[in-house]
Amino acid sequence: MLDGIRCFAALLGLAGWLTWGATASLMAQEEVTVESLIQVDPVFYLSTDGLEQHREAFEQTAAYKAFYESGMVDAVFKLVDQFGEEGQLAKEVGQHLLDHGASIAVNLPEPGQLPIPRVTVVLPEAAGYHDQLKSLVIQFLEQEELPVVQEEIEIEGRTVFKLIAPKPPLVEAALWSEGNHLVLAVGIGAAHATIKVAEGKVGDITNSRCWKEYIVPAAAENPMVSRCWLDFAQIRTNYGQIPIPAPDEKGFITVNQFLEIIGLHEFGAAIMFSSLAGEETVRSFVIEVPSPSQGVMTFWDPAPLELDQEFTLPPNLIMFGANSMEWSRIYAAGWKIADGMVSHLNPAELQEFRELKAHVPEIIGFDPQELLGCLGGGTYVCLSASPGIFSIPNAWIRQKVEDEEKLKQMLAMLAERIEPLLIEAEGVVSIRQSVINDKEVMTFSLAGAFTPSLVVSDGWLMISSSTQGLKSYWLREQGKLPTYEPEPRTAARLKNLPEGTISYGITDPTFSYQQLLSVIPMYIGIGQQALIKEGVLPPDVPLPDFPPVELVTQHIKPSFTVVWRDEEKLYAETYSTVPEVSLGVASGSIMVALLLPAVQQAREAARRVQLRQEMQEGYDLENGPLERREKELDRPEPRPRPGKPRPLPLPAPEQ
């Protein structure tokens, strides 16, 4: 059984890599929709359309201007071209994925069957890649000598190439063409099951509940470019009775019991879909979880946020988040989860655990529940860019306080409690008290280099990364320093937050992209040099030629996120000008995966050239035959001693 599962995992990983490795001219075949190839009600589903289907709308987005018109994407593909034919292959595959997208679905077996899911991957407009992909598969299996059975069979008029695990359960990875699309199916009986869907004998994904309730209505409002869901209820139904052993292996807990303890027993499905709207990409989320929630979902089930709070934000804003947080309730939920786990997995220690909980205030010197009870429901976090050599962002947190005097007393008690520990630290960590703007400020000095500071005043607990941060905030409140002015779209959204809002935030990715794009050329240059040394790239390979950072980031605008809920569901929307993550990550990962074999082959060739050179010198002949020396080359060589330089290798003999 375990051997079969390992084979399944190996086949799944192999098939995932090989699917993306397809390239060639496309074949004109009968048109088939991608959705008609995916079985109804997958537990997980992810589909992206690619850029070609929405070319006109995509060219209006800020992401297109930032990454395509600037030349950034072309610069990346030029780097891939440096790897010769393999680079061209990786480039074509990456471009095809960006243009046409991909779909993946995971269907669970029926209750009572082996708990092995079936995975279906569809690459749109890629049917012409079939033959080359099949050749790559066969070549790979011959090189690695994997114990996998190969066969090619006819199913309902389709020629299906299959790889089958040699031992039960007989998991297979099957590849074939459907219309203009390339299909990969992995699982027990995966090929027959998927072809039944294509033949219309089993319902396809358009008959799924999540598709009808969420995808269809949303697509009617705005052109949709990607869609995804996770149907958690299916996991509970199919795997809920599977036992999870205790750490000491003396007891167990079922999956459903575990989910009930951590508060996910009423979790239905999580759905995401995105669309293009002018310069922005709009991502919408729906999570089926009723209120009141328990366990970990307590974090997402607070009272609505007070929307009348105003803050003075710094002009170089990186991130601002406003959140409704019921800290006391979250703390109690954490103890309840721990209590439930102990009671199910190790009931003999339950009484001892509860006694420990009762003695926590005595052990640490204060009652955490009482401390958290002083706090209100609003938590606000700000991060701003900082000039200077290290460019470490400034940060502050403002927490609403219900009982200011009691909180001050408890913080003073806490400082007194940890004073003996600070004495043992010998000044590395210390607490310093000061008065700034008639406010008592407590500063934690960490070796004098970092000085996070806090103050309780005017109904707020404020924590800043330094006393400078506190002063800056108060000066902005007084109008003596410039403040952040949101762009019109963000300002309008701040004024029209939905009813039941529990969180909203502004994020400006410009600073992060500036930092990232500034160091990427350096790291790529270092990587090139390493590959030159290994013989993978030629010595005269061009250096990275990326566009100026400002040319890319000038089009990036702040993102805005809002989260709200009702009695049945949690909702979120994000408005962003940066590209879709799924396509970029998938395309980049696939190109890297395709380049790795080329890099490995070049390394092996370089090793063999080096071996022939050393054998020609004659000083290494005592080490035995060529095969033995090849194995030794895999081991790191000792560093030469001073005064005994290693002889330079002679040129390789002419062939």
pLDDT in the model for residue 275: 92
Instruction: Output the DSSP codes for 591-618.
Output: HHHHHHHHHHHHHHHHHHHHHHHHHHHS
The first and second tokens of residue 504, run together, are 């909203």
The vertex-546 CA angle with 542 and 551, nearest 5°, equals 160
Residues 6+ apart with CB under 8 A from 494: 486, 504
Q: pLDDT per residue over 448-457, tens digit each?
A: 778 899 999 9
pTM: 0.81
Instruction: Output the DSSP codes for 422-466.
Output: HHHTTTSEEEEEEEETTEEEEEEEETTTB--EEEEETTEEEEESS
Which element (helix H / strand E) includes 633?
helix 626-633
**Residue 58 in contact with residue 48, Cβ under 8 Å?**
no
pLDDT in the model for residue 616: 60
Instruction: Output the DSSP codes for 79-145.
Output: HHHTTHHHHHHHHHHHHHHHHH-EEEEEEPPPTTS-S--EEEEEETT-GGGHHHHHHHHHHHHHHHT
Res. 27: pLDDT tops 90? no
The first and second tokens of residue 372, run together, are 């958290």
The first and second tokens of residue 238, run together, are 């199919």
pLDDT in the model for residue 602: 53
pLDDT in the model for residue 654: 47
- Reported residue count of the chain is 655
The CA radius of gyration of the chain, in Å to the nearest whole number, is 30
More confident residue, 133 or 263: 263
In the chain, what's the furthest Cα-to-Cα distance? 88
**Residue 383 in contact with residue 318, Cβ under 8 Å?**
yes
Mean pLDDT within 615-619: 56
Per-residue pLDDT band at 8 (split at 50, 70, 90): very low
Beta-strand ranges (E) seen in 497-558 are 501-507
The first and second tokens of residue 346, run together, are 């190790």
Res. 653: pLDDT tops 90? no
Per-residue pLDDT band at 390 (split at 50, 70, 90): low
Share of the chain above pLDDT 70, in %: 82
- Residues facing residue 120 across a β-bridge: 105, 185
The first and second tokens of residue 498, run together, are 């939905």
Q: pLDDT per residue over 139-188, tens digit each?
A: 778 877 788 899 999 999 999 999 998 888 889 999 999 999 999 999 99
Q: How far apart are CA 559 and CA 202, in angstroms?
A: 42
**Residue 504 in contact with residue 322, Cβ under 8 Å?**
yes
Burial per residue of 100-125, b for 16 or more beta-carbon CB atoms within 10 angstroms, e otherwise: bbbbbbbbbbeeeeeebbbbbbbbbb
User: Crossing angle, helix 2-20 and helix 130-144, to 10 degrees?
Assistant: 130
Q: pLDDT per residue over 573-596, tens digit each?
A: 999 988 655 444 444 444 454 445
Segment of 437-446, 594-603, 623-632 carrying the highest mean pLDDT? 437-446
pLDDT in the model for residue 387: 62
Per-residue pLDDT band at 539 (split at 50, 70, 90): confident
| 321 φ, ψ (degrees, to nearest 5) | -130, 135
pLDDT in the model for residue 222: 82
Domain extents for the chain? 33-38+47-203, 289-508+557-608
**Residue 611 in contact with residue 629, Cβ under 8 Å?**
yes
pLDDT in the model for residue 559: 94
Burial of 404 (0-12, 13-18, 19+ CB in 10 A): middle
pLDDT in the model for residue 146: 82
Q: How far apart are CA 20 and CA 182, in angstroms?
A: 10
Q: pLDDT per residue over 512-529, tens digit each?
A: 888 888 888 888 888 888
Res. 318: pLDDT tops 70? yes
Mean pLDDT, the chain, rounded, equals: 82
Q: pLDDT per residue over 468-525, tens digit each?
A: 899 999 999 999 999 999 999 999 999 999 999 999 999 998 888 888 888 888 888 8
More confident residue, 638 or 459: 459
Q: How far apart are CA 322 and CA 506, in angstroms?
A: 9
The first and second tokens of residue 213, run together, are 């309730």
